[in-house]
Each structure stands twice: as structure tokens, then as C-alpha cells.
Amino acid sequence: MATAATRLRSVGVCAGAGGLALGLEQAGFDPVLLLDNRTVTCETLRRNRPAWHVLDLDLLEFDPVEHQQTYDVDLLAAGLPRVKATASVRRGERDDELEVLKAAIMLMHGVRPRALLIENVPDLVTKPTYEPIRAYIAEELAHLGYDVHWFVLNAADFGVAQDRKQGVVVAFKDGRLDSFTPPDASVARHRTVGEALGPSMGARGWAGAAVWAAQAARPAPTLVGGSWNRGGADLGPTGSKRAWARMGVDGGTVADDVPDPGFVWDPSRGRIGMMPLTVRQAATLQGFPPEWEFAGGKTAQYRQVGQATPPPVGRTLGEAIRAALDS
């Protein structure tokens, strides 16, 4: 972690459970303010970092005039809700995720950070259907003197045991974009689910943990937090559940604890012969450290984990942005 004398200042919006903020902290950025509109995620942030200034407020209602410590920070970081390709930036219909993205861009007018970081779906960067949204972002930021760069990275390339592609937008003023280099993969081989979760599977004495881990020899499919408004906790859509089943994991629910000594692992019996993952195991697959605590009940905790930016990705992006700012 960077020394106190060299640390930079950041603002985080749509901060969620703090995966991006934690990674940026490891890269040398201290938040002067973190904003999220869910009380349970704000409690998670405060529980882990009591010194952080956490504001429980919708981004659409945030006015930087009332929080002038945010002015001229080094970085504005936003882990925004996933924007849909059908959203229109020109017509008048309402789309909540797009409205949040537009609010983050408009916040640049008041905060005027040295750099901007937005994390979202990879399609935002790559798909032609998102071109109007990309054009809107580039145009608005150009008016403010920022140069924009788009790229996609995969968390698996940075030590996270999960195939998780993320679309990234960075913007710099004062020509700093010329000094920015998107992160290259930091690992030669992707970490597998078995490597990440094998020790925890055996933590209560289940004798089959090593055998299970040996066959779970691939990164996890992308964890999906799901909707806050409906349903319980599970590991994602049908395709993800099938991928988990091939590793002998029940992706249709989240467990209260890891297997006990009496558990019989037999995927041929269907779900009753497979073990679900715990929230803590899901957090491990996201790259959260074991000491990071999540507030709320099991479903709320899993929502936070699944929707987070993996902290190792946040750190990697923070280090690349910092290198450009320090150049």
C-alpha cells in the first residue's frame, strides 16, 4: 500500500460493497466521500472502514456544492449499474441505469477530477448498439477538456478465480491520457475454483474437499448479484448454473455453511448430491479479503458480493491511473 505522504484523493459513486474502493485504496487512493443509495451497502462500507465518509443517497440527488471536499480530487470512480443497449440517450423515455450513468458524467462538471474511471458491462465498449451512449459520454467529457479511452479486461487475468469481463472507461485532462497504459494480464495462468475454494470446502472436516477441488479445475463463471427487487440468492442465469453443475456445485442457492463430515458428494443425484457455495466463498471468488464483512441477511450479502467490482481489478486499474497521474 502507498505511504501516507504519496496518497491521492478520490470520490466513489455507486460504491456498493466497496470492492472498487478497496482496490483503489490498495493503489493509493483515499476516498473523501463514498456514495451509495442502499442502506445495507453503506453499513458494509462503514463496518469495514469506519473512517470513510459514507453518504446514503441516490446519485441523482447528490449536489457537490454541499460536499465541497469532492472538488478537484484526483479521481472520480463509478461502479455503475449495468446499462442496457436499448437505452436511448436522446429520446425522452426513462431508463434508470442510463439516468445514473448520465448523472455520473454530469457530476464531472462540479467535481472536475484529474481522472475518471467508470466500470460497466463489456458490451458498453464493444457492441455497435451502444455507440450512441459512447458518443454521448465522449461528447460531454470533451466539452470539459477530458480525453477518453475505452477497453475491456477480464478479472481472471489479474488473479481472480472467475471469468469476469468488465468494460472500462477512463478519462484524463491536461493530456494525461497519453501517459495511460491499460493494464496487462498480471498472471500467467488463471486461478481455478478448486484452488480458491478447496481449503474452505474442507474447513469443517469434509473428507472429499481435495477430490472436489481437483476436478473444479477452471475459473468460475461470472457471479451475478441479481435484482434487489425480486428472487433469492443464486449464482446466476441458467448457463451459469450448468457450468457450476459441471463442477459439482449447486448454483441454484447459497449455503449457510460449507459441507460437514457427513456430506456425500454425488452429482449424479442432482442438486441433493452437490454443495452450494456460501456468501464467503462467493466473496473469495470475487477477490475480497477474508476480513471484509458484509452487512444484512444472506441474500442481501450475496447481492452485494455478486454486484461488486473485484478488489484486485480495482487495484490494477488504480495503479494504472495513478501511473498516468504521476507521470
Same domain, 175 and 69: yes
Same domain, 207 and 180: no
Same domain, 183 and 201: no
Answer yes or no: is pLDDT of 93 > 50: no
Judged by phi (left if over 0) then psi (alpha if -120 to 50, else beta), residue 28 lies in: left
Answer yes or no: is pLDDT of 125 > 70: yes
Of 199, 234, 257, which Cα lies nearest the Cα of 305?
234
pLDDT category at 310 given cuts 50, 70, 90 is very high
3-state SS, residue 327: coil
Taking only the tens place, the pLDDT of each residue in 60-83 is 999 999 999 999 999 999 998 888
How is 252-319 classified by DSSP, letter by letter? TS-BSS---TT----GGGGGGGSBPPBHHHHHHHHT--TT----S-HHHHHHHHHHSPPHHHHHHHHH
Answer yes or no: is pLDDT of 5 > 90: no
Task: Quickly count: other Cβ atoms within 10 Å of residue 45's Cβ.
Answer: 25
pTM, full prediction:
0.93
- Give the pLDDT of residue 120: 93
Same domain, 182 and 197: no
Domain holding 300, by residue range, is 193-304
Report the number of distinct structural domains present in the chain.
2
pLDDT category at 208 given cuts 50, 70, 90 is very high
Q: Are 223 and 235 in contact (CB under 8 A)?
A: yes
Same domain, 46 and 183: yes
Same domain, 117 and 72: yes
- Give the pLDDT of residue 91: 44
Of 322, 323, 320, which Cα lies nearest the Cα of 151?
320
Cα–Cα distances in Å, from 190 out to 168, 239, 280?
21, 21, 21
